Amino acid sequence: MSTKDLTRTVEDRLTDSPASRFWQELFRNSGYFPIALILLELLVEGLEYLANPDLYILIPAVLVQTYILTRWTHLSAWRRFLGNLAAPGLYALGEVSFEGLAFFQSPYHVPYLIFALIIGLLQAAQSRERNLWNDSLLLLENVVRAEIIFALYVAVEVTANPAQTISLTEFFADGSHRFLALVVFLLGLSAGVANVNAQRFSLLLRETAGQLKVYSEWLLGRDLLGRALDDPNSMRLSRQKRTILFADIRGFTGWSESHSPEEVASLVNRYYATVEATFGRYRVVKFKFTADEAMAVFLEADEAVRAALDLRLQCERILNRHGLGAGIGLHTGQVVEGLLGSPQLRFYDALGDTVNTANRIEKSAASGEVWISEGVFSHLNSRVPVDEPQFITVKGKDQPVRVYRILT
């Protein structure tokens, strides 16, 4: 899996997918009135409604609106308002082309436009923050949406029982009408309260998940965190071929003795930020700091060398002004890689002779130098200008290690 894919894995777990947002928008908002209208038409006209062109204009119009509002979720309130008018607008245009102005004489069509307008205004007035104003608007939006059912029922009654719908007084004289009006209002209120609580909990969950993501990335790094979420088994200890990079500030101990702790901390923080920003441009499995030393694990030797040259350049910009520099060493070989530690405390690391050898090579590099082992040199796919090979003595090895100094 690529670095980009691993990063996307983390982000996707903190946000809804486009498909999820589409279905939520369809059934929570855009499709609410059309679904109720289709069911009503089926009850009134029966299966004959399926042969009516209305149905085949309404459904595509709703899907278009759903798609628009899914894409415009995080854009301006004005676009959100216009998006809510897309389906009724397209539906009206399509129907007028068949029926003419008689379309507006239907007791079902005008309410569609009115409700879309009201809901669009209520959504446009809401911001992304959760406060009393936005909660009140969201509550009112749910009540208005619930009233769609009552409005369609009234439209049916106007056609079926005109004597009972002469006036509001006459209409509500019927106990069943009062019951339905009250129940619909209370259901809308109940749905609104539940939606407000769900929105508040969702916001809290996202904030908490975002904080945990940051803390986890501090320990694992973004790529390893993505890998762990995608496949927990990938974190188990296993033997892998890796290129290990070590970088260390030359003369740092002596410089620290002549500067205040605050100055030392400031330089170290800038050094850490520089290393992190540099490694962020490459496919790094994991990197870590120990005082003024940085270690990184790379998948490929070419990538590691490019990162080393970039890191040398970036470190020169912040260290040279203090009379300091960084020495860098790399080695390629087999490591044991994965989670280490107790059941209560674990960390990801790479261990083995390859790591120790890379560290010894780095110790031999002078300020501003990048040294690579024969193992790195033999795995490079692109030509890198190097000096004549040298041999260094590495603690724990019987034979000297062949290394090259990169000339660029």
Note the pLDDT tens digit of each residue in 97-107.
Answer: 888 888 888 88
Q: Please compute the mean of the pLDDT values over residues 75-86 and round it to a whole number.
A: 86
Q: Please compute the mean of the pLDDT values over residues 208-212 and round it to a whole number.
A: 73
Would you state the structure tokens that stand for residue 254, as one six-digit string? 């002596």
Q: Please compute the mean of the pLDDT values over residues 12-23 and round it to a whole number.
A: 75
Whether 3 shows a pLDDT value over 80: the answer reads no
Domains of the chain, by residue range, sit at: 3-217, 236-405
- In this predicted structure, which of 39-48, 76-85, 210-219, 334-343 has the lowest mean pLDDT? 210-219
CB 373 within 8 A of CB 403: yes
Q: Is 258 helix (H, G, I), strand (E, B) or coil?
A: coil
Residue 305: pLDDT band with limits 50, 70, 90: very high
With vertex at residue 351, the alpha carbon angle to CA 292 and CA 244, rounded to the nearest 5 degrees, is: 60
Whether 10 shows a pLDDT value over 60: the answer reads no
The percentage of residues in the chain with a pLDDT greater than 90, rounded to a whole number, is 47
Whether 4 shows a pLDDT value over 50: the answer reads no
Tens digit of each residue's pLDDT (9 = 90 or more) over 167-179: 888 888 888 889 9
Whether 74 shows a pLDDT value over 70: the answer reads no
Residue 277: partners with Cβ closer than 8 Å, 6 or more residues away: 314
Across all residues in the chain, what is the average pLDDT?
A: 86
Tens digit of each residue's pLDDT (9 = 90 or more) over 262-281: 999 999 999 999 999 999 89
CB 90 within 8 A of CB 112: no
pLDDT of residue 408: 79
pLDDT of residue 219: 63
DSSP-derived secondary structure for 111-162: HHHHHHHHHHHHHHT--SS-SHHHHHHHHHHHHHHHHHHHHHHHHHHHHH-G
Whether 369 shows a pLDDT value over 90: the answer reads yes
pLDDT of residue 183: 94
CB 109 within 8 A of CB 92: yes
- The CATH number that domain 236-405 falls under is 3.30.70.1230
pLDDT of residue 230: 66
Residue 5: pLDDT band with limits 50, 70, 90: very low
Long-range contacts of 204-207 (CB under 8 A, 24+ apart): 206/14
Tens digit of each residue's pLDDT (9 = 90 or more) over 108-161: 888 999 999 999 999 999 887 778 898 999 999 999 999 999 998 888 887 777
Residue 7: pLDDT band with limits 50, 70, 90: very low
**Orientation of helix 77-84 relative to helix 109-124, angle to 10°:** 170
Q: Can you tell me the distance from the alpha carbon of 192 to that of 204, in angstroms, rounded to the nearest whole number?
A: 18
pLDDT of residue 198: 87
Higher pLDDT, residue 241 or 347: 241
pLDDT of residue 15: 63
Q: Can you tell me the distance from the alpha carbon of 99 to that of 403, in angstroms, rounded to the nearest whole number?
A: 85
The percentage of residues in the chain with a pLDDT greater than 70, rounded to a whole number, is 90
**Number of residues in the chain:** 408
pLDDT of residue 109: 85
Tens digit of each residue's pLDDT (9 = 90 or more) over 24-66: 999 999 999 999 999 988 888 888 889 888 899 999 999 999 9
Q: Can you tell me the distance from the alpha carbon of 7 to that of 13, in angstroms, rounded to the nearest whole number?
A: 10
Tens digit of each residue's pLDDT (9 = 90 or more) over 279-292: 989 988 888 888 88
Whether 367 shows a pLDDT value over 60: the answer reads yes
Tens digit of each residue's pLDDT (9 = 90 or more) over 243-253: 999 999 999 99
**Do strands 325-341 and 370-373 pair parallel, antiparallel, or not at all (unpaired)?**
parallel
pLDDT of residue 188: 93
Tens digit of each residue's pLDDT (9 = 90 or more) over 315-364: 999 999 999 999 999 999 999 988 787 777 777 788 999 999 999 999 99
Indicate the DSSP class of residue 238: E
pLDDT of residue 18: 81
- In this predicted structure, which of 109-118, 189-198, 213-222, 290-299 has the lowest mean pLDDT? 213-222
